[in-house]
Amino acid sequence: MTTAGSDKTFQIQAGGKLTGEIRVPGDKSISHRSIMLGALAEGTTQVSGFLSGEDNLATLNAFRDMGVEIEGPTDGRVTIKGVGLHGLKPPAKELYLGNSGTSMRLLAGLMAAQKFDSVLTGDESLSTRPMRRVTDPLATMGAVVNTTDAGTPPLRITGNQNLNGISYDMPVASAQVKSCLLLAGLYAEGQTCVTEPAPTRDHTERMLQGFGYPIERKGATACVKAGGKLAATQIDVPADISSATFFMVGACIAPDSDITLQHVGINPTRIGVINILKMMGARLDVTNERDVGGEPVADIRVQSSELKGIQIPEDQVPLAIDEFPALFVAAACAKGETVLTGARELRVKESDRIQVMADGLQILGIDARPTNDGMVIQGGQLGTGTVASHGDHRIAMSFAMAGLRANGPITITNCANVETSFPGFVELASVAGLVIQAS
Ligand code: S3P
């Protein structure tokens, strides 16, 4: 999983502090869904705060390839001329989704319900990621989606099937699987219900509601039926709490830091990082809470903190699933032991985030022991060295923040994929006080 980001290296100078008020780019999950639902709506949807990262552009281009007229992104603004639920056109070629698991899993559900065939492909990392979690339940609905023998992409989808609704109990807590099935359910006969074993991000459900599509939500179950319509709307995408996380952790671990992150999405299904950092003793205040188009938003102030190691409660894992690379760095700077369990999913993200983070922390002199489903980390002094990000954006940005507390420079390889979720990271981190160079 290493080639995609092989052309960029980060050099971090030890020390520094994070200060000021910054706004990180838009939420990746919400940006994906804004394109998908905007394209399927009737009328013109205006999006602001859109994340122009490579993952979201992959989704945007896929819809352009299916005949949807989309203007932008220009300064975060995108205009989508919706074609309605039945207006997508057969793409002339394979839909290439780069590094983006969200694009592939959500589109799998949508494409399986279309009248035409399609093929979904991705980069080297995405081509190793498990897809049976979506293709198995889709097959139960009557969809025809082929994977490789290993259950990985490309996905070859034979359209023009009559899908039937199912009631599905998800074995893994996955918003991507839930969203995939709900999107297929917009076209299925009868009702499609998905029950999750633990709360996962609910942006799809909220946004369907925002587009006026009937969706029933009761406890852990969400249900949709075909026959409704999506009405074009306006979407203001909040800043991504997953991108804000790097600065939250950086400010906690760097002496004399005091930073405010503006307009951050604090959807309750995403705030595991806030809960966990607070449990570790972070000086973190959530202020100016407000509702923006059905998603809660706030400003988050973080000051240098004396972190302590904790046993991370398993119920927080799905709520912080993308934040563990950064949280491992926080744990490395905390007093005592931090133990994470119940997070096996981290092994099948853009990289094996348990192994890759443990390897990098060990290179930097930290006692970090990977386990099957988590990690045990003894807080200590971060040292100097060269660590591999394996082309995983969140690993690269997490180790960049580690430089704030290291006693020597840190070099991070394969960082180009930071562009998938956080364009402008190097510039923004520099403004905030990290001494970082990309080459
Ligand atoms: C996402 C869901 C999560 C997350 C990913 C984005 C989404 O994946 O890791 O970055 O937008 O639905 P899973 O649902 O597979 O845990």
Among 176, 397, 417, name the best residue to mutate to test ligand 1's pocket (greatest count of ligand atoms within 8 A of Cβ): 176
* pLDDT at residue number 39: 98
The answer regarding whether domain 4-26+238-438 maps to CATH 3.30.420.40 reads no
Domain spans, the chain: 4-26+238-438, 28-236
d(CA 290, CA 30): 17
Q: Do domains 4-26+238-438 and 28-236 have the same CATH topology?
A: yes
Compute the distance between CA of residue 70 and CA of residue 73 in angstroms, rounded to an integer.
Answer: 9
pLDDT at res. 4: 45
| Dihedral class, residue 115 (left if φ above 0, else alpha if ψ from -120 to 50, else beta) | alpha
**Ligand 1: does its nearest atom lie under 6 Å from the Cβ of 322?**
yes
CATH of 28-236 given 3.65.10.10, 3.30.43.10, 3.60.21.10, 3.40.50.850: 3.65.10.10
Closest atom of ligand 1 to CA, residue 345: 16
Exposed e or buried b per residue across 293-314, where buried means at least 16 C-beta atoms within 10 angstroms of its C-beta: bebbbbbbbbbbbebebbebee
Tell me what pLDDT residue 7 has.
83
Minimal-distance CA residue to ligand 1 atom 9? 322
Rounded CA-CA distance 436/410 in Å is 10
256 in active site: no
Is the previous residue joined to 409 through a cis bond, with omega within 30 degrees of 0? Answer: no
Burial profile 154-185: b = 16 or more Cβ within 10 angstroms, e = fewer: bbbbeeebebebbebebebbbbbbbbbbbbbb
- The answer to whether 413 and 386 have CB atoms below 8 angstroms apart is yes
- Copy the structure tokens of residue 57: 């552009």
In DSSP terms, 264 is beta-bridged to 239, 298
Rounded CA-CA distance 344/167 in Å is 25
Ligand 1 centroid to residue 137 C-alpha, Å: 17
Q: How far is the CA of 105 from the centre of ligand 1 (A)?
A: 9
Tokens of 157: 């989808």
Q: Which regions in the chain score pLDDT beneath 70?
A: 1-6
Tell me the pTM.
0.98
Is the shortest distance between the CB of 201 and ligand 1 below 6 Å? yes
The finding on whether 305 has its CB within 6 A of some atom of ligand 1 is no
Evaluate the CA torsion angle 206, 210, 213, 216 in order and state its sign.
Answer: positive
Ligand 1 atom showing the smallest separation from residue 33 Cα: 11
Ligand 1 contact via 176 beta carbon (within 6 Å): yes
Task: In whole angstroms, give the CA distance from residue 39 to residue 59.
Answer: 11
Where would I find the beta strands (DSSP E) of 184-250? 191-195, 216-218, 221-225, 234-236
Whether residue 321 has its Cβ less than 6 Å from ligand 1: yes
CA of 349 relative to ligand 1 center, distance in Å: 9
Residue nearest to atom 10 of ligand 1 (CA): 322
| Token digits of residue 156 | 């070859």
Q: What is the pLDDT of residue 296?
A: 98
What separation in angstroms does the CA of 70 have from each of 25, 49, 73, 239?
20, 15, 9, 22
Atom of ligand 1 nearest to the CA of 29: 11
* Ligand 1 centroid, distance to 350 Cα (angstroms): 11
